[in-house]
Amino acid sequence: MLPGKSKIYEKNGDDILFGFGQLIGILKKNPKKIVFTEGEDARILEAASRLLASNFLHPILVGSEDKIFEAAEECGFNIRGAEIIDPAKYDKMDEMVAEFCELRKKKGVTPEQAKEILLQGNYFGTMLVKMGVADALLGGATYSTADTVRPALQLIKTKPENSIVSSCFILVRPGATGDNEVLAMADCAINIKPTEDELVEIAGEAAKCAKIFGVDPRIAFLSYSTHGSGAGEDVDKMRNAAMKTKQKYPDLPIEGELQFDAAVSPRVARTKCPESTVAGHVNTFIFPDISAGNIGYKIAQRMGNFDAYGPILLGLNAPVNDLSRGCNASEVYSMAIITAALADANAGAGASA
């Protein structure tokens, strides 16, 4: 399989499953539990209904059981078999409150304050992951990104080797030969103006994420300059970040700094950096800041006819992902599978460590 090519879709009759057949196959062998923080939302219920019918993920819906069943019945969604947990009636709330207070003891949080906070779906769902009740969390259908990420940073926290949470978008476009073109782009959603060292971390996490989707990462640190053709602080930052990343990950194919055309066009690469074996064949793109990243992935999505999946949050001790408040049920379904796949990858990394 060529770099950047992956059979990420699986055909079933005339349907192309959003569920990424390769990932579904992995999850069928080891189903994960995923908590949805907005269990009463119609989009969540539709996705949960589909997941329950497929039987490779176990949804946990946070909210009032009566309201969830009422909303599901009103919309015609079958959610029989879903686990529903109401924070107001949770039988292990005292245990959760005690652990929350321990995690937030530096802030002097009292049990009364903790219980009030934990009645909020975003904090309650995050604690379900922290306590091992669920493997992963998906939120943001009604919460802001900050309201999804903040509890994760406070409670689940970053991995020991990570100093930041970053994000990656996976972009998929059907190819003419039957394979699909799959790209990774980072960081397009979290870190506004990352430093050199943060870019190293972003690149390492994006490469790991790309591998989950069957991509053999070939990484470019993007700039308005190719190998010194331009000058400036941002050029220096990307060049230095590329050098540091090569030192940290000597087995990864990395080039930088590169202009986008030199990164993706073999013809341009032969002219601008003929000595490079990475230029012209890049599938994992590291942007200098959030503006460039956000604009870049949206150009690919809207003008390049790529499907965009993300932002996929990286660097946490357990997978927590954020939905767009404008998402639809298919996007919820896709992101649930991606989030569970990250949990499976984390478990595999832990087992091999």
The domain spans of the chain are 31-157+317-352, 166-303
Domain 166-303 of CATH type 3.30.960.10: no
Q: Is beta strand 11-12 parallel, antiparallel or unpaired with respect to 15-16?
A: antiparallel
pLDDT for 292 equals 97
pLDDT for 348 equals 57
Burial grade of 133 (CB within 10 A; 0-12, 13-18, 19 or more): middle
Nearest Cα residue to 162 out of 323, 34, 352, 346:
346
pLDDT for 180 equals 82
Sign for the CA dihedral angle at 50, 54, 60, 64 comes to positive
Looking at the DSSP bridge assignments, the partners of residue 88 are none
Looking at the DSSP bridge assignments, the partners of residue 180 are 6, 174
CATH number of 31-157+317-352: 3.40.50.10950
pLDDT for 20 equals 65
Q: What is the pTM of this model?
A: 0.85
pLDDT for 14 equals 28
Beta-strand runs (E) in 110-246? 136-139, 166-174, 180-186, 219-222
Q: What is the pLDDT along the chain (353 residues), one digit of tens a residue?
A: 233 444 333 433 223 343 367 788 888 888 899 999 999 999 999 999 999 988 889 999 999 999 999 999 999 999 988 999 999 999 999 999 999 999 999 999 999 999 999 999 999 999 999 999 999 999 988 888 888 889 999 999 999 999 999 999 999 988 766 678 899 999 998 999 999 999 999 999 999 999 988 899 999 999 999 999 999 999 999 999 999 999 999 999 999 899 999 999 999 999 999 999 999 999 999 999 999 999 999 999 999 999 888 889 999 999 999 888 888 888 899 899 999 988 888 765 544 44
pLDDT for 349 equals 58
Q: 31-157+317-352 and 166-303 share one CATH topology?
A: yes
Cα 139 to chain centroid distance, Å, stands at 12
Give the number of residues written for the chain.
353
Q: Interhelix angle for 233-248 vs 196-212, to 10°? A: 50
